[in-house]
Structures are given as C-alpha cells and as structure tokens.
Chain A
Amino acid sequence: MVEQLFTDIGSIWAKYGTVYLTGILNTLILATVSTLIGCVIGFICGILQTIPCLPGDLWVKRALLRLLRGIIRVYVEVFRGTPMILQAVFIYYGMPYFFGVSFRDIWTVSILVVSINTGAYMAESVRGGIMSIDAGQFEGARAIGMNHFQTMLYIVLPQTLRNIMPQIGNNYIINVKDTSVMFIIGFQDFFAVHKMVSGAVFKYFPSAFLEMGGYLCLTLLASFLLRRLEKRMEGKGNYELVNEDQLVMTAGTYKFTGEAPYEEKSRDYQGEKP
C-alpha cells in the first residue's frame, strides 16, 4: 500500500535522517572535490599533450615529448577502460603490496581514485577542446611574443574551459552518482547509508525510494547550477559604450615611457616624404 510506504519512509527518516544527510554531504564533498582535482589533472595532461614539436627542436626534447604523450595515453586508456569500483579495490588493497603502506584514511583513497578516474576522461575532453580552438588564437598570441605556456594559460585554456563546460558538468553528475561504488572500500556516502539502514531495519524498498529521490534531486540541482555557471561564463550579451570624456586620457596625461614611440621616430627621421 502506498500509505504504508510513506509511513515506513517517515519512520526510517525519523530514526536515520541525519545519517542520510551525512551521506549526502559526503557524496557531494567527494564528487565536488574529485571533479575539481580531475579537471586540474585533465588540464595539465591537455597542456602537456599539446606542446608543439618543432622540426628544429633537439632530439632530447622530441624524445621527452613523445615519452610524455605515451605515458598520458596509457593513463587515459587504463583508467577509462576499467571499472572505477575495481580501481578502488586495486588501489586500496594493492598499496601494501607495492609501497608497503596501506591508506588509513578512506577519504584520501576515495578522492584519489575518483580524481584519477575523472582526470582520465577530462584529459581527452581538454585535448579535444584545445584542438577545436582556432589556430589564429595561437598565432595571435605568439605574434605578440607569448610562449606556449602563456598562450595556453591566458588565451587558449579560458576558451577551452568555456567550451568544455558541458562535459565537465557531465562528469560532475556522473561522479555524484558513481561515487556510490566507493562503498566497496568502506566510504560512507549516500548509497552506503542505504546499505547500512536497510540492513538494520530490513526495509529495502522505502530506503531505496528515498535514495532514488535523493540522487535525482542532487543531480537536478547540479544540472541547474551548472547551466547558471555556463551562462555567467558566456559574459554579458551587450556592452556599454564608453564616453571618451569620462576617461583620464586627455591630451598630455599619458606619461608612459615619456612619449608615443613612433612620434618620436618621426622626429629623427631624416628621409623625405614621398
């Protein structure tokens, strides 16, 4: 009976409400932090992968670049091509074998796993985003003397970021849901709460109902906020014309380097005008 469902949900919530809320909070923190770190990883991989290889470069540089691209390629394929739930198990239980230490802190491992996984997807998004930027943007930057790093940081990546915002949003929403697999190593997220509570009260459906509703609310909210963010990043649709009189630029106020450069040239030019 439907009424029975709601009374069950009510009683579960009365007893475990704060536990569910803590679960939600943990899920959101894990998803948000890991998506951000994943983006940083993705952008770093994107920059490294697109360092231009010029014919005049030393073979050492070319070899290093090739090696770097190879490593990134392997990273992307491995972490994109295996289930995150297995990656979590692999890293959590594999650490003692390889490094002789085990992670005590479940948060560290969880953030590490989800970040690395997100980074693998983001690396490809960023690479695609950079490739889609018009070559003229790179040339304009190089023509005024910017190096590769400056060109990326100030010109290309801001445009890339805006272009791949939908993909970042996608990854974020996937992370909100898929961090649920981290229960496998004991992370106390929203889904882990379901397992715990339903095991304790032997009521699976009411808790699952709550969870479904909860996850859907979270992702809808995330979706909405991401759209708002995208809108804001687009900038204003219009601009204000600036009245010249409001500027400090009246004649004689520009003291930079003393004077305008080519007016100075005109003074010592001794050739004749055609």
Chain B
Amino acid sequence: MNENILEIRHLSKTFGTHAVLKDVDFTVRKGDVTSIIGASGSGKSTLLRCINLLETLTTGEILFHGESVTGGKLNQSAYRARVGMVFQSFNLFNNLSVLENCVIGQRKVSRVPKEEARKRALYYLKKVGMLPYINARPAQISGGQKQRVAIARALAMEPEVLLFDEPTSALDPEMVGEVLDVMKSLASERMTMLVVTHEMAFARDVSTHVVYMADGVIAEEGPPSQVLVNPEDTRTREFLKRFLAQD
C-alpha cells in the first residue's frame, strides 16, 4: 500500500533575487524514510520549511493526500499538525515542562481531552526514554535529551510524516547516538520520515530513499544503494568523496 502522502510539485523558492529552490519535484510515500543530503546552502532546510509552510512558496504546490495545502482549501493549522517537524535547535517551549511541551499542541490544536493528551504524551516520552524527566524544564536537560523530547512532542501530535532538519547537528558527539537510536526505532516501525542529515551512516543504513540536493535542485534520488554507492551524477560523486574524506 504505497500511497502518496506528500507530493511536492514544481516548488520554487526565491529570497529576493536569490533562487534557493528551483522547480523541485518529489513524492513521499507512506513508510518512506527519505534522507536529504547535499552541500551547505543547497536549500535542504528551505525545502523542509516550505513543506511545513514555515516559508511561503514562491511557486509550485504541495499536495497532502492529493489535496493542495497551499491553495487554501485545507486548513493550514490542521495540516501542520499532521506533519511534524523536529528542528536542529530543538525549539522546545521554554516556559513549559517536558510533559507540558508534549501536551499543549494536542490540547490546543487537536482538542484532545486532557487525560488522554497526558497519557499520549507519557507514552511517547517513554518511547524516547524521557519519562523520568517529565517535570524538568527544557533549560534543565541536555541537548540530546531536549532533542528526544522534541521528537516526542512531534509524535504526540500523531503526525503522518515527520520532518527532521539536521536533528543531531547541534549536539555534542556523545549525544548523537541516543537521538539516532530513537530515529532508527521510528524507522523500524515504518514511521514516514523526511530527514535532512549529514550522518551518512544513517542515510545508508536506515533510509529507504536518498535525495541529493545541489544548488536548489534535486540532482539525484533513489535507494541508498544507488545514490550513495553508485551515484550517476558527478556532483553527487564529488560531494560523497569530499564527505567521506572528512570522516
């Protein structure tokens, strides 16, 4: 049942005169774990932010289950609630406890009853291993823990797709593993995910799809075995060579 959840059609995004995304087209199917790789400034973050409507598209459209989310028919808030986002800088709500962070969206956006929202939040916090810290405030926990809470917060909205923008890039090396483990377990449960990452091991071992972006276009996409091992595009080859040389 490979139904299309998200279809990005002819998406372009310009900041002033700077064309950051140029006619990007791709599709996310249910259960796909897509890794988006590419050089800094190639537009990966901008692509994710467009998908979550944090940026307004210059042209093009995004279809969610075949329905346009930019045409105004679909309620944008409802759409955002169905598409979760995990940021590089966590963006946990500083005025709320760990538990409240995972409850507030359910209560105010999805109108889940109080007790149910609490249970759901606890369930996902347990899943990411943050149950002991439910009373802590974001300022009181480590980066890796913050990111795991941010994942639980996104999951608590029960989204159909989760977008990750370099979820481990702001973390100390020793904390990267705990966040990747959570993401791996989500992948193994067939959560649909779209992950911008510089973790080549994650892209290679966990994802079902790899998208290589260069200068605002998708230069190459396909299964990891193809894109990462036998890339057709010369830019991909160059990128991987440079990247693997760094490791």
Contacts and interface: CB of A to CB of B under 8 A. Distances in A.
Interface centre among B105, B134, B137, B157 (most CB of A within 10 A): B105
A113 to B, nearest CB: 33
A140 B56 contact: no
A140 B133 contact: no
Interface string B77-113: 1111100110101111111110000001100111010
A240 interface: yes
Interface stretch (B120-128, B175-183, B212-220): B120-128
> How many residues of A sit at the interface, in one of the four size bands?
35 or more
Interface SS, B side: loop
A137 B91 CA distance: 6
A143 B132 contact: no
A144 B116 contact: no
B200 to A, nearest CB: 15
B1 A150 contact: no
B104 A154 contact: yes
B175 to A, nearest CB: 19
B65 interface: no
Contacts of B207: 274
B190 A262 contact: yes
A56 interface: yes
B191 interface: yes
Interface in A242-265: 242-244, 247-249, 253-257, 260-263, 265
Interface centre among B56, B158, B190, B192 (most CB of A within 10 A): B190
Contact of A144 (B84, B131, B140): B84
B135 interface: yes
Given A56-B56, A239-B140, A269-B190, A145 B157 contact: yes
A265 B132 contact: no
> How many residues of B sit at the interface, in one of the four size bands?
35 or more
Interface centre among B85, B89, B95 (most CB of A within 10 A): B95
Contact of B135 (A242, A262, A271): A242
B186 A249 contact: no
Contacts of B95: 155, 158-159, 162
A244 B1 contact: no
A147 B77 contact: yes
A141 interface: yes
B208 interface: yes
Contacts of A253: 119
Given A158-B95, A262-B191, A265-B30, A145 B81 contact: yes
B56 A243 contact: no
Contact of B158 (A158, A238, A257): A257
Given A146-B108, A263-B189, A247 B54 contact: no
Nearest to A257: B158
Contacts of B93: 137, 140-141, 154-155
23 contacts: A55-B56, A56-B56, A136-B91, A143-B54, A144-B84, A144-B105, A145-B109, A146-B109, A154-B93, A235-B137, A239-B137, A249-B119, A249-B122, A254-B119, A254-B123, A262-B186, A265-B190, A266-B189, A266-B190, A269-B30, A270-B2, A271-B31, A274-B223
The 3 closest A-B pairs by CB, nearest first: A140-B91, A145-B81, A144-B105
